[in-house]
Amino acid sequence: MKPSLKSYTIDEFGVKNYNSFYLLLITIAVLYGVIALLSFPLYQYELASEHSNIRSYKDAFWTLQMSASTIGFGDFYPVTLPGRIIVAAMFYIGVGMVGFVGAQFVNKFVGFSDTNVKNRELRKQNKEILAHNKHLEKKIDSILEKVEKITSK
């Protein structure tokens, strides 16, 4: 399988590095799945109110999509308490998920804070330091053995 088609790679330290394209696709799919699911109860609650302007599933979907993106044009809005709770919940869910999608785009195009690269460099440095420490330990042990031989005579 091509490396670009894998959902993650494992580096030399055994750490999974996820492909941000897959994370982006999964996040968008989950976001729109949640919107699609919550549109049903929103539509049902708002349909029960004669003062509601959400009169179709499409209107409910649009309302939740605008809520998730924090745009909220105001053309459709809930008037029932359960409808408002659903839209508020979607707002909080959407803020996190849309923020994650935005962060993925910024990371791909700007990429100035690629922590995976920094973490790999630090792990490599730690590995080299540990190897050097083991080498020094062996030298110290050898010196101690020689000192013990000299002092025990």
**DSSP state letters, 11-67:** -TTS-EEE-HHHHHHHHHHHHHHHHHHHHHHHHHHHHT-TT-S--SHHHHHHHHHHH
In this prediction, residue 19 has a pLDDT band, given cuts at 50, 70 and 90, of confident
CA distance 103 to 109: 10
3-class secondary-structure state, position 58: helix
3-class secondary-structure state, position 10: strand
pLDDT in tens, 62-91: 999 999 988 888 899 999 999 999 999 999
pTM of the model: 0.65
Task: Please tell me what DSSP assigns to residue 9.
Answer: E
CA distance 24 to 14: 23
